[in-house]
Each structure stands twice: as structure tokens, then as C-alpha cells.
């Protein structure tokens, strides 16, 4: 069943925004975490597509757990030990399953927006000692070119107004607020740093401002 998109929601009207995404498909998605639904959204301003996995009643005054998850093929699919992205996605799905409702917006901005091929090039520079920021700079790429406005618009389109943000990234929290959603709680997604993730997480905390209490150096 394809749900009718609610682009003319009260929130969208209140914010005076012209819709820039549309739901194009919706279906059941059985997972190892239980029954979910999966939807496909298309941008009306670019060729970007978004995958949304959601569960339960979302049009409610109660806060709903949400995660904006940036695509990480190496971590999400191939279980790379260089990052904790796959573990974060798994934690988000488990949390939503336990609560009985929630949303993951899967944003296809691989490697903080540089794409998979450039990400692998950055990996090669990291093999030589560069950190994630230094590698991007050496390649002449942005450190982080991701934008989250359309992800937030998707959440509003699904009827959300109050959320629990599953994130360590303050930029995502600010994007949710800027988009008219009330962030009533942040749910940290942290794992003990390993020898493979220590440098990656240290850069996130001390150079990018991520909220990581387990990272001390």
C-alpha cells in the first residue's frame, strides 16, 4: 500500500515551506527486529532518493525515536571495523523495535557526502597515516558536505512533531530543531572505542564536536 504523502501538513504550512520531497513508494518490511515498513522518497530539487524504515503510530503528541543515518556501505553492508556506523544503525533499529515506533531516514550521502569511490581513496590516505579530515583535505574535498533539511522534511511529512534523536552529532540535532521539530531527548549511540575506531572517533569528538563521552583522547 502506498501511503498518500502529507506534504500540506500543518507544520509545513506553518513554516512556510514549499515541499521538496515526495513519498514515491511504501511497503511492508519484515526484519530480524520485527515488522517494519519501508518507504522511498524522492527529492523534487535533485536526483537524490531517500530510504525510510519506520514502525508504529507516528502521528502522536508523544516523542518518537528517530535516526537520520548517513549511508556507510563499508560499515552498514560490509561490517568495516574502521567505523561504528553499522553498529549505530543496528542500535537504532533495536531501539525502535523495543519502543514499538520510530523512524530511520537513510540518507544516501556516502562518506559524509564524498561518494564511495572518493571514500576508498580517503581510506588509502588513512592507511598512510592521515585522519579522516586530513584525507578529505588532501583529496580537495569537503570535510563534511552533508545536509539534513530534506531528511527533516520527511519526518514532518510522516507526521512527527516531537522526537527523541538517536545521534551523537549536534549538527543533526540542530537540523531537527531548525526544521520545526521539538527534540525532547537525545539518545546517545556509543560503543567502547577499539584500536580500529579510536582515531576515527577522536577526530569526531575533538575536531567535529560530536558528543562522545567514551572517547577521552
Residue of 144, 156, 157, 196 marked active site: 144
**Quick one: pLDDT band at residue 10, thresholds 50, 70, 90?**
very low
pLDDT digits (tens, 9 = 90+) for 153-181: 999 999 999 999 999 999 999 999 999 99
Active site residue 146: yes
β-pairing, 182-187 vs 162-166, is: parallel
What is the average per-residue pLDDT within 24-38?
Answer: 97
The model carries a pTM of 0.87
Quote the CA–CA distance of 165 and 183 in Å, as a whole number. 7
Quote the CA–CA distance of 217 and 202 in Å, as a whole number. 6
- pLDDT value for 143: 87
User: How confident is the prediction for the chain on average, in pLDDT?
Assistant: 89
DSSP conformation class of 1: -
> Which residue in this structure is represented by grid cell 536526483?
47
Percent residues over pLDDT 70 in the chain: 92
β-pairing, 34-43 vs 49-55, is: antiparallel
Residue of 146, 157, 186, 196 marked active site: 146
Choices 3.30.1330.10, 3.40.50.10990, 3.40.50.300, 3.40.50.150: CATH for 10-109+146-206:
3.40.50.10990
Amino acid at each position: 500500500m502506498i501511503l498518500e504523502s502529507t506534504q500540506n501538513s500543518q507544520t509545513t504550512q506553518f513554516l512556510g515551506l514549499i515541499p521538496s520531497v515526495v513519498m514515491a513508494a511504501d511497503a511492508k518490511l519484515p526484519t530480524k527486529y520485527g515488522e517494519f515498513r519501508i518507504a522511498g522518497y524522492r527529492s523534487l530539487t535533485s536526483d537524490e532518493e531517500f530510504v525510510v524504515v519506520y514502525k508504529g503510530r507516528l502521528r502522536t503528541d508523544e516523542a518518537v525515536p528517530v535516526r537520520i543515518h548517513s549511508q556507510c556501505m563499508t560499515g552498514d553492508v560490509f561490517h568495516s571495523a574502521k567505523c561504528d556506523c553499522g553498529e549505530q544503525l543496528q542500535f537504532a533499529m533495536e531501539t525502535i523495535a523495543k519502543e514499538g515506533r520510530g523512524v530511520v531516514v537513510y540518507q544516501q550521502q556516502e562518506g559524509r557526502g564524498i561518494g564511495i569511490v572518493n571514500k576508498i581513496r580517503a581510506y588509502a590516505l588513512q592507511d598512510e597515516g592521515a585522519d579522516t579530515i586530513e584525507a578529505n583535505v588532501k583529496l580537495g574535498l569537503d570535510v563534511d558536505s552533508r545536509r539534513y533539511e530534506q531528511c527533516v522534511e520527511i519526518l514532518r511529512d510522516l507526521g512527527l512533531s516531537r522526537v527523541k534523536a538517536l545521534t551523537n552529532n549536534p549538527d543533526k540535532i540542530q537540523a531537527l530543531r531548525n526544521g520545526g521539530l521539538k527534540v525532547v531527548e537525545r539518545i546517545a549511540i556509543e560503543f567502547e572505542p577499539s584500536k580500529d575506531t579510536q582515531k576515527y572517533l577522536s577526530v569526531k569528538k575533538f575536531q567535529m564536536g560530536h558528543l562522545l563521552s567514551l572517547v577521552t583522547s
